[in-house]
Amino acid sequence: MGLKVVGTGLGRTGTKSMQTALGILGFGPCHHMMEVFQHPASMQLWIDAGEGRPDWDAIFKDYTSAVDFPSAAYWRELTSRYPDARVLHTVRDPEEWFESVHATIFAPDSIARREGQDVQARFFASILSRIPSRLDDRAAMTDYFRRHTEAVKAAMSPQRLLVYRTGEGWERLCGFLGVPVPSVPFPSENSRAEFISRSPARQSGGPAGQE
């Protein structure tokens, strides 16, 4: 069906809440890391993409939007592949972002950092190859976060891009997408505490969503 919204914001920038919000606004189903865990056969498609053999139509055949990793790691490819898609870049304070990712998706004991040759390990390795290797280095990671935002802003026309700060609510998002503001509160999902509470599932291969 082709993506109508490409999310370029990194994991832990409100992406799970945004996935739900886009569904409420009529831009679902929305792809998110949790979708990969619910459809593990798609991991091989992402591995192929990382090796230069992407089949975006197969990956996104059931979706109209995408946020979070792994999509954010391929933002240049996806914004080019879907030139009519709106580009939604979620951000938060870089220092707060580092604290969040270091406690969750890039924690030392996370499945994303597990080495191996099985499909899951190779899937995460393909994503990590696109971000700095110094995952525990605050300065390196916050610098990467800032540079990522500036790269997206430099590559996209202002008319196509919305830089959305976590917690803003509906108004600017709805104006950008050209839809009415819904009567329900903006979603708030997958807090750090909620993520950490699932850490046994995370380490055994369960859902590893990101906000």
Note the pLDDT tens digit of each residue in 3-22. Answer: 999 999 999 999 999 999 99
pLDDT over 80 (residue 74)? yes
In a domain, 210, yes or no: no
- Residues 106-134 have pLDDT tens digits of 999 999 999 999 999 999 999 999 999 99
pLDDT for 1 equals 64
Q: What is the DSSP letter of 10?
A: P
- Residues 143-184 have pLDDT tens digits of 999 999 999 999 999 999 999 999 999 999 999 999 999 999
Closest CA to 141 of 168, 166, 115, 105: 105
- Say how many domains are in the chain: 1
pTM: 0.89
pLDDT for 209 equals 39
| Domain with 59 in it | 5-204
User: What is the spatial order of strands in the sheet that 5-7 belongs to?
Assistant: 30-31, 65-66, 5-7, 86-91, 161-165
In a domain, 64, yes or no: yes
Closest CA to 207 of 46, 48, 66, 32: 32
The structure tokens listed for 117 are 């040759």
In a domain, 211, yes or no: no
Q: What are phi and psi of 190, to 5 degrees?
A: 60, 50
In a domain, 95, yes or no: yes
Decide: residue 187, CB within 10 A, 0-12 exposed, 13-18 middle, 19+ buried: middle
In a domain, 74, yes or no: yes
pLDDT over 80 (residue 193)? no
pLDDT over 80 (residue 191)? no
Confidence of residue 188 (pLDDT cuts 50, 70, 90): confident
pLDDT over 60 (residue 195)? no
In the numeric block, the tokens 């886009």 are attached to 22
In a domain, 114, yes or no: yes
For residue 43, what is the domain's CATH number?
A: 3.40.50.300
- How far apart are the two ends of the chain, measured CA to CA in Å? 26
